[in-house]
Amino acid sequence: YAHQGVVGHFSPKKTIGFHELIESALEKSTNPTLVIPDEIQDPHNLGAIIRSAVAMGIQGMVLTKHRVAPLNETVAKCSSGAIEKLPITWVANLSNAIATLKESGFWIVGIDPKGTTSCYDFKFDMPIALLIGSEGKGIRPLLKKNCDFTVSIPMANSINSLNASAAGTVIFYEALRQKLNKKKPGKKTT
């Protein structure tokens, strides 16, 4: 009885246009954060990224039309319904999308185990698009070249990386923590 007698029907997620996503994000926040999963093929990972993105106040997601998990029932279930709350757009070419984001005032920040700055030292006080690399391969080299910054997550031992959804969650949380601390008078971001 795993389904507990409930039958449901999943309709494909309605997505929005790329420029509409950018405009919407900039209207919602002076320093919005978008997420760009690069070729995330595991639907469980994509669903978990969506869930964390919504929980941490991310304004939208940019997905490539190729080599990415489809927005299906598995993604929806793993997102615990958050897929309905996150504006998502599809693009044919991530390099072109990144160029457009830069022209629109976004800084591209790659999440990378060998990133040049710890996520705790990076200041998330600007419009940002966070690039999360795929399972096993990380961020593709051409896309990494297009990053304005790369951030890493400090590790306590010999494990040198997290899976895509866990890494995204850590970075989403740090960005949110800094924004919340900035709003409180007398609090400094550490």
| CATH, residue 63 | 3.40.1280.10
13 assigned to some structural domain: no
Domain range holding 171? 18-153+160-182
pLDDT number for residue 184: 66
pLDDT at residue 135 in the model = 80
Question: 10 lies in a domain?
Answer: no
Question: Would residue 175 count as lying in a domain?
Answer: yes
d(CA 77, CA 82): 9
Residue 144 placed within a domain: yes
**pLDDT beneath 70, residues of the chain:** 1-12, 184-190
pLDDT at residue 122 in the model: 97
- As for how many domains the chain has, the answer is 1
Asked if residue 8 is part of any domain, the answer here is no
**What pLDDT score does 1 carry?**
37
The reported pLDDT for the residue numbered 190 is: 52
Quick check: pTM over 0.75? Answer: yes
pLDDT at position 161, please? 83
